[in-house]
Amino acid sequence: MEKKRIITGDRTTGQLHLGHLVGSLQNRVRLQREYETFILLADVQALTTHYQNPGQMKESIYQVAIGNLAAGLDPEKVTLIQQSRVPSIAELTVLYSMLVSVNVLRHNPTVKTEAKQCGYGDLTYGFLGYPVSQAADITFCSADLVPVGDDQLPHMEIARKLARRFNELYANGDELIRVPRALLSETPRLPGLDGSCKMGKSLGNAVYLSDDADAVNRKIHSAVTDTNRIAVRDKGNPDVCTVYAYHRAFNAGERADICEMCCGAQIGCVACKTRLAEKLNTLLDPMRERRAYYERRRDEVRGFILEGSEKATRIGNEIMARARAAMRLEI
Ligand code: TRP
């Protein structure tokens, strides 16, 4: 039986961090065996917020590609795709843009949250419309499933509606454009070092997968804990502690122990952080090795991206030819 196809991706805005690792990378590493896996380096989507600094774009594209490979994605198995190299993504975006109202986009909760975070009182057309472009990312290759976090569900809804609408209008309801399904990541979102609800590149509260052992140590020791716990003899509340959230995500073996000791004031925050940093460094070490390997072989990485993007272009062109014919654009 043919494998189902999945597509997922990252905006190319810089380094990947621990939030990506628990939220998506670890999941992708598992999924690559079972599914035909497409990984999108979403450089066009990165432009929605980073169009003013083109100087960093190339490096970010490599960082996201190498980050995925370092996490354990196998370049023999997965297809790495640079979004801007695939013409059918841009073409489908334009065609889909006729089928979605501005109000639907304006009320998209993820667009709203991000617009607020970025301080955009006056949204660009590209930013407001990026869920339409994301629908093209997903459907140009007839992906069956899209592994995502819950923040992406509103975009999935738009993608599904666009695919259905297209099929109704132009294909007599046949599934010319495959209606994709979300494969929701179960893991809870990782908080930032500052205790804020999300670890984020732009928020300055991240442990990067590229950080060395010293940096990880230093950052973990700077993390916010239970702010009510002032002295070591105070009992702690792991439920409100960022460091405990990390233990929960990365230290399954010790977490129950640590929870008990913290609640009983038998371990201090410094010792607890030291244990976490050790655990994290053990987890990150093999990734650091793979990163170093690919850093020395950027030409090879470039080759993977070009080859993957060409394959994606061929697949997308086929869908586009059918879409054009269905829309009676062929003369
Ligand atoms: N918007 C996604 C994010 O911020 C990245 C992304 C772009 C994506 N295109 C995609 C994810 C297509 C899944 C499928 O994480």
| Euclidean distance between CA atoms 153 and 176, whole angstroms | 22
Instruction: Return the structure tokens found at 104.
Output: 């639907």
Instruction: Assess whether the region 5-190+298-326 and the region 212-291 belong to the same CATH fold.
Output: no
Give, using CA atoms, the residue closest to atom 14 of ligand 1: 8
Report H helices in the chain.
18-20, 26-34, 43-50, 57-71, 87-97, 102-106, 109-117, 125-128, 130-139, 153-170, 213-221, 242-250, 255-263, 269-295, 298-326
Ligand 1 atom closest to the CA of 83, numbered from 1:
9
Q: Is the CB of 42 under 6 A from ligand 1?
A: yes
Q: What is the DSSP string of 119-136?
A: T-SS--HHHHTHHHHHHH
Compute the distance from residue 224 Cα to the ligand 1 centre, in Å: 29
| Euclidean distance between CA atoms 325 and 331, whole angstroms | 9
Q: What is the pLDDT of residue 48?
A: 97
Q: What is the pLDDT of residue 232?
A: 86
Ligand 1 atom closest to the CA of 137, numbered from 1:
12
Ligand 1 atom closest to the CA of 7, numbered from 1:
14
Q: What is the pLDDT of residue 186?
A: 85
Q: Is the CB of 41 under 6 A from ligand 1?
A: no
Compute the distance from residue 8 Cα to the ligand 1 centre, in Å: 6
Give, using CA atoms, the residue closest to atom 3 of ligand 1: 10
Compute the distance from residue 256 Cα to the ligand 1 centre, in Å: 34
For 212-291, CATH number? 1.10.240.10
Contact 323, 177 (CB under 8 A): yes
Q: What is the pLDDT of residue 250?
A: 95
For 5-190+298-326, CATH number? 3.40.50.620
| Euclidean distance between CA atoms 238 and 192, whole angstroms | 15
Compute the distance from residue 277 Cα to the ligand 1 centre, in Å: 30
Longest dimension (CA), the chain: 80
Compute the distance from residue 299 Cα to the ligand 1 centre, in Å: 25
Q: What is the pLDDT of residue 201?
A: 78
Ligand 1 pocket mutation pick from 137, 139, 178, 185 by most atoms within 8 angstroms of CB = 137
Q: Is the CB of 148 under 6 A from ligand 1?
A: yes
Give, using CA atoms, the residue closest to atom 9 of ligand 1: 134
| Euclidean distance between CA atoms 331 and 286, whole angstroms | 56
Compute the distance from residue 194 Cα to the ligand 1 centre, in Å: 25
| Euclidean distance between CA atoms 236 and 46, whole angstroms | 40
Compute the distance from residue 42 Cα to the ligand 1 centre, in Å: 7
Closest CA to 117 of 1, 204, 14: 204
| Euclidean distance between CA atoms 318 and 315, whole angstroms | 5
Ligand 1 atom closest to the CA of 155, numbered from 1:
1
Q: What does pLDDT average to in each consecutive run of 10 residues of the chain (331 residues)?
A: 94 96 95 98 97 95 98 98 98 98 97 91 95 98 96 97 98 97 92 90 89 97 92 91 96 94 94 97 98 98 98 98 98 95
Ligand 1 atom closest to the CA of 45, numbered from 1:
7
Q: Where are the domains of the chain?
A: 5-190+298-326, 212-291
